[in-house]
C-alpha cells in the first residue's frame, strides 16, 4: 500500500479518513500492522477498516499521529481510558506520557491587581502566579511621561510635546508596578504619566480609566474575576483577584527514523509554557 493512499477507518461507528503514512508513524503499532492485514482485530468492511473501540477517544489518537504532540482540552478527564486505548493500538510512547497526567492537566493560575488613587495619581501593582503571564502583560503595558502646564493637565488629550516611554518597575518575575496621572514638578508645570495597554492604542492619564481598561483586558484574555476587596481603607487600596485555567505546554514525541532502527519512538517533553 502506498503512503499516498487514503485510508478509511470506522472506530465505534465514527468514521476517520487519513493517509497511510500517518498510521505508519510508529511501525510497530497495531495501526501500522493493520495496513498489511497483519492484525485480525481490524476487519475490512466495504473498503473500510472496522474496529470496535471508542470513536471519541480515537480522535485524540489521530490528532497525536498527525502532530506527534499530546494536546488535550482543558476539561479533559479520561486520562486512564485514553491510556488504555493507546496501549490497545500499540502506541506505547503516548501511553507513557498519559500515565504522567500531572504534566497534561491544566493548572489554576492566579492574578491580583492592586489599585489606589492618591490625589491626581493612580498606582498599580500586578502580581501573578505565572511569570510568563506577567511578562506578557509587561509587554502590553507602556508608560509615557511628559510635561504640560497646570491649566491643561486634566485635558483628555495628551500634550503636544513628545512623550517619553518609561520602563515599568519589575520587583520580581511575578509582579510589575506602574502609575499614571499628574505630579507637581516646578512652577505651573506638571509631570504627566500616561498608560497604554495593547491592543488599545489610547494613552490614558486617569487612573480609573486605566483600571477599567486593564480589567477588561484580563477578562478578554480568559481570566475570571473571583473577588474584590479593600486592602487598606486609609490608603484606599483596592484589590481585584482573578483566576483562569492555564493550558500546559505541548508534550512532543520524536520518532527515531534512522536506518536499521526498530521504529520505536522516543518521548521528549517540550514544555511550551515555561513560567510557573
8 A C-beta contact, residue 228 and residue 238: yes
User: Could you say which DSSP state residue 204 is in?
Assistant: B
pLDDT beyond 80 at 111: yes
List of E strands, the chain: 6-11, 14-19, 43-45, 48-51, 69-70, 107-118, 121-128, 141-149, 164-166, 169-172, 175-184, 189-197, 224-232, 237-246, 251-255, 265-268
SS (H, E, C) 160-191: CCCCEEECCEEEECCEEEEEEEEEECCCCEEE
Q: Which three cell numbers stand for residue 76?
A: 479533559
pLDDT beyond 80 at 68: yes
pLDDT beyond 90 at 162: no
pLDDT beyond 90 at 227: yes
Predicted confidence band of residue 276 (pLDDT cuts 50, 70, 90) = very low
User: Could you say which DSSP state residue 272 is in?
Assistant: S
List of domains in the chain: 6-103 (3.30.710.10), 108-148+161-246 (3.30.1410.10)
Q: Which three cell numbers stand for residue 38?
A: 497483519
Predicted confidence band of residue 71 (pLDDT cuts 50, 70, 90) = confident
Cα(147)–Cα(188) distance, integer angstroms: 10
- State the pairing for strand pair 6-11/48-51: parallel
Q: Over range 126-138, report the average pLDDT.
A: 93
Main-chain phi, psi angles of 45, to 5 degrees: -130, 115
User: Could you say which DSSP state residue 215 is in?
Assistant: H
pLDDT of amino acid 105: 76
pLDDT beyond 90 at 15: yes
Q: Over range 150-177, report the average pLDDT.
A: 74
User: 188-197: per-residue pLDDT in tens?
Assistant: 667 889 999 9
pLDDT of amino acid 250: 55
Q: Ranked by mean pLDDT, which of 43-47, 96-100, 225-229, 265-269 comes out on top?
A: 225-229
SS3 assignment, position 143: strand
Indicate the pTM of the whole model.
0.61
Mean per-residue pLDDT of the chain: 82
Q: Which three cell numbers stand for residue 174?
A: 511575578
pLDDT of amino acid 184: 67
Amino acid at each position: 500500500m502506498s503512503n499516498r493512499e487514503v485510508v478509511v477507518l470506522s472506530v465505534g461507528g465514527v468514521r476517520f479518513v487519513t493517509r497511510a503514512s500517518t498510521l505508519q508513524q510508529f511501525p510497530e503499532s497495531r495501526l501500522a500492522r493493520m495496513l498489511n492485514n497483519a492484525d485480525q482485530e481490524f476487519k475490512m468492511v466495504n473498503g473500510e477498516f472496522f474496529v470496535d473501540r471508542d470513536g471519541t477517544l480515537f480522535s485524540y489518537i489521530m490528532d497525536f499521529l498527525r502532530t506527534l504532540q499530546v494536546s488535550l482540552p482543558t476539561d479533559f478527564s479520561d486520562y486512564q481510558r485514553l491510556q488504555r486505548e493507546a496501549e490497545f493500538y500499540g502506541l506505547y510512547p503516548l501511553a507513557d506520557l498519559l500515565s504522567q497526567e500531572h504534566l497534561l492537566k491544566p493548572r489554576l493560575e492566579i492574578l491580583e491587581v492592586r489599585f489606589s488613587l492618591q490625589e491626581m495619581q493612580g498606582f498599580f501593582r500586578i502580581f501573578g502566579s505565572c511569570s510568563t503571564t506577567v511578562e506578557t502583560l509587561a509587554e502590553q503595558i507602556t508608560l509615557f511621561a511628559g510635561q504640560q502646564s497646570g491649566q491643561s493637565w486634566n485635558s483628555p488629550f495628551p500634550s503636544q510635546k513628545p512623550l517619553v516611554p518609561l520602563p515599568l518597575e519589575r520587583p520580581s518575575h511575578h509582579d510589575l508596578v506602574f502609575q499614571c496621572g499628574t505630579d507637581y514638578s516646578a512652577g505651573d508645570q506638571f509631570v504627566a504619566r500616561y498608560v497604554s495597554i495593547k491592543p488599545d492604542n489610547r494613552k490614558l492619564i486617569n487612573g480609573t480609566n486605566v483600571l477599567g481598561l486593564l480589567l477588561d483586558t484580563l477578562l478578554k484574555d480568559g481570566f475570571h474575576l473571583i473577588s474584590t476587596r479593600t486592602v487598606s481603607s486609609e490608603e484606599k487600596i483596592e484589590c481585584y483577584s482573578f483566576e483562569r485555567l492555564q493550558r500546559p505546554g505541548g508534550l512532543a514525541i520524536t520518532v527515531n527514523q534512522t536506518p536499521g532502527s526498530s521504529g520505536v519512538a522516543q518521548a521528549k517533553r517540550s514544555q511550551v509554557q515555561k513560567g510557573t
